[in-house]
Amino acid sequence: MKEPRTKSKHELLPGTLEMLILKTLSIESMHGYGIAQHLQLLSADVLTIEEGSLYPALQRMLVKGWVLAAWKMSANNRRARFYTLTTAGRKQLGVEESRFSQMFGAIMRVMKTT
């Protein structure tokens, strides 16, 4: 059977995935699948988060102490592992946001120059 190949190969800038996860978790705690869905939805399917990137990133953030993980019941009554932002994670989000906007602004300035 043929697999529908709809995946867009939009690659993220290095480091942005963690920022996006932090942002997502700053709204509410979420499980891995939920994070991926949330990002795909909000970006209107431009950003497809692959499991191979998502889970290692989550582990890295656990190691760094930016998030905590706990098993909880999900909305549709499934046991799932929910990630919650810590204070350190919230601080990190601020750092990443300002760094990103700086970078983004810089790139845009370059691109607008004619």
Partner 1 sequence: MGSLLRRLLFLFRRNRFDRDLEDELRVHEEMKAQALADADGLSGDEARAAARRRMGNPLRLREQSREPWTFARVETVAQDVRHALRLIRRDPTFTFAALATLALGIGLNTAIFSVADGVLWRPLPYPNPDRLVIVLSSQQTGTGVRTFATWSPVSYDGLRPRVTALADLAAYDPIDAPLTGRGEPLQLPALDVSPNFFATLGVSPALGRAFHTGAAAPDDDRSAIVSDRLWRTVLKGDPAIVGQSITVDGLPRTIVGVLPPDFSFRPVIRQGTLPEADVFLSNRWPGDTGRNAFLFLLGRMNPGVTEERAVAELTALVNDPSIAPPGALGMEGARASNVHTVARAVGLQEYGTESVRPLLVILLGAVSVVLLIACVNVANLQMARLTARRGELSVRMALGAGRRRIVRQLLTEAVVLSLVGASLGVLLAWIAIDVTLPLVPQSVLPRVGGIMIDARVMAFCVGLSLVSTLLVGLVPALRVSRAAFGEGAALHAGATRTTGDRQGERLRTLLVGAQIAMTLVLLIGAGLLIHSFVRLTSVSPGFEASGRDGVVQTVRVTLPPHLYNEPERMHAFARGVLDRIHYLPGVTSASVINSAPFGMMFIRDEFSIEGQPKPTLDAGRPKIDADYFTTMGIPLLAGREFTARDSAGALNVAIVSERIVRDYFPGGPREALGRRVRLGDHGEWLTVVGVVADIHQRGLDTEVQPMIYVPFQQERAQPFLLRFVSFVARTATPGSVVEGIRAEIRRVAPDLPIEGTVTMDEAVAASVAAPRFRTWLLVLFATTATLIATCGLYGLMAYAVTQRRREIGVRMALGATRRDVLRLVLRRALRIVVAGLVVGLAGAAGVTRVLQRFLFGVTPTDPIAFTIVTLLLMAVGLMAAWLPARRATRIDPCAALRAE
Residues of this chain that bind partner 1 (CB under 8 A)? 1, 3-4, 31-33, 37, 50-52, 55-56, 58-60, 62-65, 69, 71, 78-81
Helices of type H across the chain: 16-27, 32-42, 51-64, 87-112
Q: What contacts 32, CB < 8 A, 6 or more positions away?
A: 51, 54, 55, 58, 81, 83
**Block residue for tokens 């890295």:** 60
Say how far apart CA 75 and CA 6 lie, in whole Å: 28
The smaller minimum CB distance to partner 1, of residues 16 and 54, is found at 54
> Residue 57 Cβ, how far from partner 1 at the closest point, in Å?
9
> Residue 78 Cβ, how far from partner 1 at the closest point, in Å?
7
The smaller minimum CB distance to partner 1, of residues 12 and 80, is found at 80
> Residue 13 Cβ, how far from partner 1 at the closest point, in Å?
20
